[in-house]
């Protein structure tokens, strides 16, 4: 079996690397082109950082960048608190009777992750119209709180699933009150999950285009909206540069989140039994 198996293994390895090439080559091409000293074609004409310096001089990009940071910061702050509380509640939910039970709450928190963005955006636009709220940066923040809460709840919930309840009981047995137990035992253990959830929610918020495009008022243009309007009118090297910058910024946040969520050595997967 070994000779055939070795060839099969090599074939699978080659396929896997080809798929990873497919996943990453377009991103690499985007990054390379952002340094290409050429405006129109895809021919390499030498290395330049002029598109990045053009970005720094571009006055029109400052408002979208600021708006994106405000929206992502504000919506993440709210979503981190609401989502973490919901995850904490869900983890000890068995006591609540139906129909307000665990399933309903879980389902509610999953909704923003499964309903297509185009539907959510259209519904929110309709909603703000019906209640007669003018579209602004506020409506964008509210829209982002919805999906961000779900992301935080899912990430923190996964962390809590591996939480050892006996630690809590031990703290209580040693005379710690509920607040002290939470602040000094539980919170430090789940804090990496909370931070990771917040980072991922921030990433999703700062990248969001579809929902934002429906609920952003005039003057509330975010960075993805700005990029979209640019690339609908044509590919420019400045768009490559700003896209690369946004991509690298979010990848750093994602890698930090992944590092925080890494399986801890020595801990049994699944945790509580």
- Residues from 87 through 106 that contact another protein (CB under 8 A): 88-90, 92-93, 95-96, 100, 105
Q: How many CB atoms lie within 10 A of CB 139?
A: 21
Task: Please calculate the CA angle 28-206-203 and round it to the nearest 5 degrees.
Answer: 70
The answer to the question of residue 33 lying near another protein (CB under 8 A) is yes
Q: Which of residues 149-188 bind another protein (CB under 8 A)?
A: 149-150, 153
The least distance separating another protein from the CB of residue 71, rounded to whole angstroms, comes to 15
DSSP characters over 194-228: HHHHHHHHHHHHHH--HHHHHHB-TT---HHHHHH
Q: How far is CA 62 from the centre of its chain?
A: 22
The answer to the question of residue 205 lying near another protein (CB under 8 A) is no
Contacts of 59 (CB under 8 A, 6+ apart): none
Q: Which of residues 227-266 bind another protein (CB under 8 A)?
A: 227-228, 231-232, 235, 239-240, 243, 246-247, 250-251, 254-255, 257-258
The least distance separating another protein from the CB of residue 43, rounded to whole angstroms, comes to 6
Q: Which of residues 55-94 bind another protein (CB under 8 A)?
A: 78, 81-83, 85-86, 88-90, 92-93
Listed ranges 3-11, 47-55, 58-66, 185-193: which one lies at the site for another protein (CB under 8 A): 3-11
Task: Please calculate the CA angle 65-71-74 and round it to the nearest 5 degrees.
Answer: 130
SS3 call for 136: strand
The answer to the question of residue 1 lying near another protein (CB under 8 A) is yes
DSSP characters over 27-84: HHHHHHHTTBS-SSSSS---B--HHHHHHHH-GGGHHHHHHHHHHHHHHHHHHHHHHH
Cα distance between residue 186 and residue 271, in whole Å: 14
Q: Which of 2, 3, 22, 175 binds another protein (CB under 8 A)?
A: 22
Q: Which of 61, 71, 135, 143 binds another protein (CB under 8 A)?
A: 143
**Are the C-beta atoms of residues 135 and 216 closer than 8 Å to each other?**
yes
The answer to the question of residue 15 lying near another protein (CB under 8 A) is yes
Choice between 56 and 130, CB closer to another protein: 130
The answer to the question of residue 21 lying near another protein (CB under 8 A) is no
The least distance separating another protein from the CB of residue 53, rounded to whole angstroms, comes to 21
The answer to the question of residue 224 lying near another protein (CB under 8 A) is yes
The answer to the question of residue 189 lying near another protein (CB under 8 A) is no
Cα distance between residue 169 and residue 120, in whole Å: 42
How many residues bind to another protein according to rule CB under 8 A?
Answer: 87
Choice between 74 and 257, CB closer to another protein: 257
């Amino acid at each position: 079996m070994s000779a055939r198996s070795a060839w099969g293994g090599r074939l699978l390895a080659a396929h896997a690397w080809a798929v990873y090439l497919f996943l990453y080559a377009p991103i690499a091409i985007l990054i390379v082109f952002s340094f290409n000293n050429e405006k129109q074609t895809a021919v390499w004409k030498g290395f330049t950082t002029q598109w990045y310096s053009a970005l720094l001089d571009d006055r029109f990009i400052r408002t979208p960048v600021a708006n994106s940071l405000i929206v992502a910061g504000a919506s993440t702050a709210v979503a981190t608190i609401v989502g973490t509380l919901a995850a904490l509640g869900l983890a000890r939910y068995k006591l609540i009777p139906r129909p307000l039970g665990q399933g309903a709450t879980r389902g509610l928190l999953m909704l923003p992750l499964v309903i297509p963005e185009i539907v959510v955006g259209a519904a929110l636009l309709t909603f703000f119209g019906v209640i007669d709220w003018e579209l602004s940066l506020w409506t964008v923040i509210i829209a982002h709180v919805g999906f961000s809460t779900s992301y935080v709840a899912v990430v923190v919930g996964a962390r809590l699933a591996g939480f050892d309840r006996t630690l809590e009981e031990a703290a209580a047995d040693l005379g710690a009150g509920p607040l002290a137990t939470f602040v000094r035992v539980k919170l430090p253990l789940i804090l990496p999950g909370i931070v990771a959830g917040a980072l991922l929610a921030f990433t999703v918020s700062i990248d969001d285009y579809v929902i934002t495009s429906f609920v952003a008022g005039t003057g509330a243009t975010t960075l993805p909206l700005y990029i979209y309007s640019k690339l609908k009118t044509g590919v420019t090297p400045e768009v490559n540069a700003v896209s690369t910058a946004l991509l690298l910024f979010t990848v750093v946040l994602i890698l930090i989140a992944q590092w925080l969520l890494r399986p801890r050595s020595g801990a049994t997967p699944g945790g509580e039994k």
